[in-house]
Structure 1
């Protein structure tokens, strides 16, 4: 260490045999869960095992330090933590961000990937994931190459608190009142954190999963074991070993996502705590010998790098060749081990032991670490903006794929503005050539209304017609079945229709798009399940929908209702390239017999026809004759994608429908 450092490590706290093997169990559980959740349904609690181990090991690593000043102690502690965590993280983020920009398609679920990597450079990716994705088990996290860094964010935020607590305890080696005050404060913080885990699991589960207040107890109980356990005399170590190991292994199988982290984290965390106590205070037992097996010790040694790289392999394979067969999972496992071994051998170990880095003066060292973090974060952001030019995915061509693509106006320019609107958005299109008394087009609906953004822009320009679009996912104006509406949907719909009724004048047009055709599968499902049929029609909802339409018709407007569109078995943007078209997800293709498409939409179409019959001011607009040929409904036409995913149209699909929609307006 540098000569100006005021802290010297005393006799190093002895290495505890078996902890590497315990790390191996934790990381292997996480890896198996991510390869196939069906193999180990609760394997994600391996991260909780890591938290308890980390709380203990970090406290154990400072137990032999002779403290001279708090500042020098902090510099010593953070230098070691930085060299342990950051070099491998820097390399991982740079490599995977570049690979993601090259291979991942441009989609709503990928727009935040590089920003998550940038946030990981500053230990706040858990906050970023909570803000953007809202759920660890959601699609946005399952397809984000940096989701696993949330746990590093929790640990790094914990390290902001640890030096003050540990310095207090180190300065009071005797068991006096002052020492008990420090331990009592840690115990109280753990109890409050455990209470937060319970409360937030019930009221805001994503907060409980991602953020330190609900996770502090997991690290804290490891710290308490190290500071309280020095006097522990453990009898019956063999029995405790069996019970604790069984508890950890059982938690990998039985822990449920919907009961996590409370009470799901209790069993793995306290079982891990007992295993640590046995390995530390009753060494030489069978548990230490089992966990000391060579292969487990090696996996434990590379566990940090394996935790980083395994997730990058999983996500990149999900986006490209797939991960749906045993052979592909075996390939993924081999890649994970190879990359983790390389990271450990050539990044982790050399930099952690580099005497030149350890000899740098503290200001120089930490300024250098901060500078590298800024450079890596800037590279992530730069790659994000460079994606349309350097990315290999076809969907990067926004003018063809993106239904919200804004074209260059020729003639009548259209100004576009957007604003939050409850659980959705309000988007206004204002053509410069519109007259003061021009007819207006109001559009209200679910994500299909938003996916007509390009069509509406072209309509506003071609007809010099102001357009107001209200869109929120899952919020159709017309309900015909017993589908469950998303949270906030009713409020969004009522508020949007109230604004339309207040602003509409006789002669204006209201367009109501929506998804009515049953999907083949959810966007991210690999298997195409047998068709379960449409949801049952709900007469009460149909009557309520007709009442909403009558209120609009009372303003003298014309209502255009979109007829059910054909849907595809496969999301086209996921299967548009040579490196992803052969994946298991893409095998069903995008070639649907027209008779099949007609049959899938027959029930909702009949309900909409009945509504039109009851309300003469309602028109039905059907895009199927334009989207489908005589025999087939295809996702592509002449090599151009008509769909973006399984049911939203692409930019090219929007353009295809513009003439037909203009014709409806003219009539």
Structure 2
């Protein structure tokens, strides 16, 4: 179906959009804001779809919704289904079970037009993926677009009928509705982008204004011929500025999205190339037309290939590899267009030849996509070989609370290990980074007459800077943390007087703490020194890469190990602060877990087939036990050395 809304420069705009998105995803220099290509797509979709609907309403007096959705099925489902099924098959072949589960869940959600909702439910920040590359991350855009296609045409059809019954101009009703949608949605986008950035980025409520902007453009009168050249250049400049100067730190969409949205609107409003639109001449060129026609397929194929490639091969030569994979995706998009999508659009395939067959075939494709996603999920849940690295990883996640329970003020949580109450005692005090040391301490003291009392609370260091508390519970958590630390200090005071307490070990997630923790921590050491207690400050453990489990399984222990020099460089500031504090007191020392975790100047995630970490910055039982030999001299110093004043 051809119309004024199917213009050559529109396909050229699609080419700009896909080039921006692909450039961003492959990590191309000066394209840090390439994600704005999605905004271009949304405006173009709003303009084209609204224009077709408005023309149909004006020409026939109604909107044939069944026919509209049949056209959408023909256009979107075949290419989408093919790329999804191919990605699932690649996941079967190349991904590990835990990765396959993630792919299966997101694939099923995307097949049901809910990829964006699924991403929001798992709080998947588009910009803070933390080196994880889910192959279906990009399908959130199709979720938003498909939800728009469900809502917008129905709304237009209803408003047209209301206007007809009230003998009013239907276009006025529709125009007011679209304008109100744009204003409300843009307002929500601006308000929510700061505090609820994931919701604002992924949800149709905060993206509807971009579709609405395109829809409004389809109803507005033409721009003056004299203004078109200037406006076209200005619009293109706005898009280029957004692509170059925006980055992952830009609050988005918010009002920043107005730059690419307005730029796209202005280019479209500037008319066709022969109507004084100089940018249109470039957009209507043969190369841009070819890329624009394949933009949908290229969008579908490029990210799964890049994501799986990154997961399998890591960061090495990422730009070169991603560029090659993007080119492969373009070839696949071309093959899909010529042999599947175009013949279906032209009704050359009998199963898509009639409206009824389109609906039946579409439903079958959706069921196939959901079914193969569930099949992948079931396959990923198969039993793993006992003792395998992946089995260890799953067990470590499942047994965290049991292996290192928090020992706080809650009933039944007082923790003690070692000898009875008459033995010399050590107090282990801190957050989860202190709790994870308990198994190593237990191994270190062995059967010696030493008692260890554990006081730990998640997210609460003795410095009193609770990093983990979110804004909505910050005040409550600060109060709880302060009470816990005061209680721990009272226990230290009581045990030093009546319980044979010799020293205190303080550990915390110093590398991730907020600024300002060194002063309160120094105050704690001053209090402990006044009680005649020796103190050991524990520096932090290495922070493993986000993909340390999969990297170690695929490439081996040494290949994925961090160098000790890099770990020390990353923790240089916290180590400096801890060292400066300990130097103030003759009865204070530093102890570094790196001596146990980083043999031969490498800090691997696993040693001899045993994982040392349960997640990026917490030890497994195996990792904690590995600290016992290096902890033993520290324990001996705490218990047996004379106190210096």
User: Quick check: TM above 0.5?
Assistant: yes
Tell me the equivalent position of 1:48. Answer: 39
Tell me the equivalent position of 1:336. Answer: 329
Equivalent in 150, 156, 175 of residue 183 of structure 1: 175
Measured in 2, the distance between the counterparts of 1:380 and 1:428 equals 43
Distance 1:216 1:383, change over 3 A: farther
C-alpha contact (below 8 Å) 2:612/2:622 kept by paired residues = yes
Corresponding position: 1:606 with 2:597? no
Distance 1:514 1:194, change over 3 A: same
Equivalent in 303, 319, 342 of residue 349 of structure 1: 342
Shift of 1:309: 1.9
Corresponding position: 1:137 with 2:133? no
Equivalent in 203, 206, 217 of residue 214 of structure 1: 206
Tell me the equivalent position of 2:596. Answer: 626
C-alpha contact (below 8 Å) 1:446/1:515 kept by paired residues = yes
Root-mean-square deviation (Å) = 5.5
Instruction: Classify the secondary structure of the residue corresponding to 1:264.
Output: helix
Shift of 1:170: 5.9
Tell me the equivalent position of 1:246. Answer: 237
Measured in 1, the distance between the counterparts of 2:517 and 2:82 equals 55
Q: Residues 170-198 of structure 1, C-alpha deviation per residue, up to 9 Å, x if partnerless?
A: 66799953431221111111111122222
Tell me the equivalent position of 1:541. Answer: 520
Tell me the equivalent position of 1:93. Answer: 84
Alignment of 1:550-589 (within 5 A): 562-565=538-541, 572-573=548-549, 575-576=551-552, 589=561
C-alpha contact (below 8 Å) 2:428/2:452 kept by paired residues = no
Distance 1:12 1:649, change over 3 A: same
Measured in 1, the distance between the counterparts of 2:259 and 2:23 equals 19
Distance 1:83 1:568, change over 3 A: closer
Structure (1 or 2) with the greater helix fraction: 2
Alignment of 1:389-428 (within 5 A): 397-399=390-392, 403-404=396-397, 406=399
Distance 1:83 1:547, change over 3 A: farther
Alignment of 1:89-488 (within 5 A): 89-100=80-91, 103=94, 112-133=102-123, 135-140=125-130, 143-168=133-158, 176-229=168-221, 234-256=225-247, 257-279=249-271, 286-321=278-313, 322=315, 324=317, 327-352=320-345, 353=347, 354-357=349-352, 358-360=354-356, 364=360, 367-368=363-364, 370-379=366-375, 381-386=377-382, 397-399=390-392, 403-404=396-397, 406=399, 445=430, 448=433, 470-472=457-459, 476-478=461-463, 487=470
More moved, 120-129 vs 210-219:
120-129
C-alpha contact (below 8 Å) 1:29/1:44 kept by paired residues = yes
Distance 1:660 1:252, change over 3 A: closer
Distance 1:418 1:370, change over 3 A: farther
Q: Residues 305-336 of structure 1, C-alpha deviation per residue, up to 9 Å, x if partnerless?
A: 21122222332233333364653343233223
Tell me the equivalent position of 1:528. Answer: none
Shift of 1:62: 3.2
More moved, 44-53 vs 600-609:
600-609
Corresponding position: 1:15 with 2:6? yes
State the TM-score, normalizing by the size of structure 1. 0.72
Residue ranges of structure 2 left out of the alignment (5+ in a row): 640-645
Aligned length: 610
Instruction: Classify the secondary structure of the residue corresponding to 1:62.
Output: helix
C-alpha contact (below 8 Å) 1:123/1:152 kept by paired residues = yes
Measured in 2, the distance between the counterparts of 1:187 and 1:30 equals 28
Q: Residues 621-646 of structure 1, C-alpha deviation per residue, up to 9 Å, x if partnerless?
A: 654443355x6454254465545777
C-alpha contact (below 8 Å) 1:94/1:379 kept by paired residues = no
Tell me the equivalent position of 1:531. Answer: none
Shift of 1:81: 2.0
Instruction: Classify the secondary structure of the residue corresponding to 1:477.
Output: coil
Distance 1:249 1:479, change over 3 A: same
Distance 1:427 1:118, change over 3 A: farther
Measured in 2, the distance between the counterparts of 1:614 and 1:491 equals 34
Measured in 2, the distance between the counterparts of 1:596 and 1:163 equals 59
Instruction: Classify the secondary structure of the residue corresponding to 2:75.
Output: helix
Residue ranges of structure 1 left out of the alignment (5+ in a row): 1-8, 408-413, 520-534
More moved, 92-101 vs 637-646:
637-646
C-alpha contact (below 8 Å) 2:467/2:512 kept by paired residues = no
C-alpha contact (below 8 Å) 1:104/1:110 kept by paired residues = yes
More moved, 638-647 vs 191-200:
638-647
Distance 1:446 1:281, change over 3 A: farther
Instruction: Classify the secondary structure of the residue corresponding to 2:270.
Output: helix
Tell me the equivalent position of 1:6. Answer: none
State the TM-score, normalizing by the size of structure 2. 0.74
Q: Residues 23-76 of structure 1, C-alpha deviation per residue, up to 9 Å, x if partnerless?
A: 001110111122225321221111111110010111233345479898x93322
Distance 1:568 1:177, change over 3 A: closer
Shift of 1:209: 1.9
Shift of 1:218: 0.7
Q: Residues 327-374 of structure 1, C-alpha deviation per residue, up to 9 Å, x if partnerless?
A: 334323322322322333444334444342334268745653553353
Measured in 1, the distance between the counterparts of 2:87 and 2:438 equals 32
Q: Residues 395-453 of structure 1, C-alpha deviation per residue, up to 9 Å, x if partnerless?
A: 8523268644549xxxxxx968999x9xxxx999999x99xx9x999987556357669
C-alpha contact (below 8 Å) 2:235/2:267 kept by paired residues = yes
